[in-house]
A and B are shown apart, each in its own frame.
Chain A
Amino acid sequence: DGGITQSPKYLFRKEGQNVTLSCEQNLNHDAMYWYRQDPGQGLRLIYYSQIVNDFQKGDIAEGYSVSREKKESFPLTVTSAQKNPTAFYLCASSPDTFSGNTIYFGEGSWLTVV
């Protein structure tokens, strides 16, 4: 089945550790996104990528890094520089960012700092 797969579903991070959240899509979409959701808040854009080997900062990129070496993969690394990493992280994709198309989401990953 086509879709977006995020892993792991739950992840615990110790202070000072970097962790990487995986996102894979088999929808053949060009654009991919990472969002963060905090309790009672909407979705905030961390990074997005319109094409392989290219990505742009979103509204809250500080403390995060991404790569887009393959069309189907867009991993997010939460670095130790991110002061409040505990949140629900959502990966998404869309055919591109320049047409009236829908953005599709993965199931999300919970990250907790312990």
Chain B
Amino acid sequence: DQQVKQNSPSLSVQEGRISILNCDYTNSMFDYFLWYKKYPAEGPTFLISISSIKDKNEDGRFTVFLNKSAKHLSLHIVPSQPGDSAVYFCAASALNYGQNFVFGPGTRLSVLP
């Protein structure tokens, strides 16, 4: 059973518009969440994280929102740029319980010029 789900395998957005990538989780012990960006044949690179004590974290064009009651988080990219085209992975961890990071299956974002 997947503990971290990204139900949209792909997403296409026009350049300059907002990209919203969604992630759902089932384990209520998860207390730390991360988003990674991955280009083909490269390792994922860290984008942004959020602890369960917050509901929002912002870093430049990237904002992550956490809704604990819904067990849902989302990554907003504004404005979207062609260089943002990549696969985005959501990851969760129950760090206080020593549980390792669990990754979602990823969403492929295509930003069209």
**Interface residues, chain A, CB within 8 Å of chain B?**
4, 6, 33, 35, 40-45, 48, 58, 88, 90, 92, 97-100, 102-108, 110
Contact = CB atoms under 8 A, between A and B. Distances in A.
B32 A105 contact: no
A102 B103 contact: no
A43 B100 contact: no
B95 A90 contact: no
What are the 7 A-B residue pairs with the smallest beta carbon separation, nearest first? Answer: A105-B43, A42-B105, A43-B103, A42-B103, A102-B46, A107-B43, A105-B44
Given A43-B103, A92-B43, A105-B44, 12 more contacts: A41-B105, A42-B4, A42-B106, A43-B44, A90-B44, A98-B95, A100-B51, A100-B95, A102-B34, A103-B91, A104-B46, A105-B36
Interface in B1-48: 4, 6, 9, 32, 34, 36, 41-46
Q: Which of the four size classes fits the interface of chain B?
A: 20 to 34
B65 interface: no
A99 B95 contact: yes
B42 A107 contact: yes
Contacts of A97: 95, 98, 100
Interface of B: 4, 6, 9, 32, 34, 36, 41-46, 49, 51, 89, 91, 95-96, 98, 100-101, 103-106
Contacts of A35: 103
A108 B105 contact: no
Contact of B9 (A40, A92, A104, A107): A40
Contact of A100 (B32, B91, B105): B32
Contact of A103 (B6, B34, B104): B34
A108 B95 contact: no
A42 B41 contact: no
A42 B9 contact: no
21 contacts: A42-B4, A42-B89, A42-B105, A43-B44, A43-B89, A43-B103, A44-B103, A45-B100, A48-B100, A88-B41, A90-B44, A92-B43, A97-B95, A97-B100, A98-B95, A100-B49, A102-B46, A103-B46, A104-B46, A105-B36, A106-B43
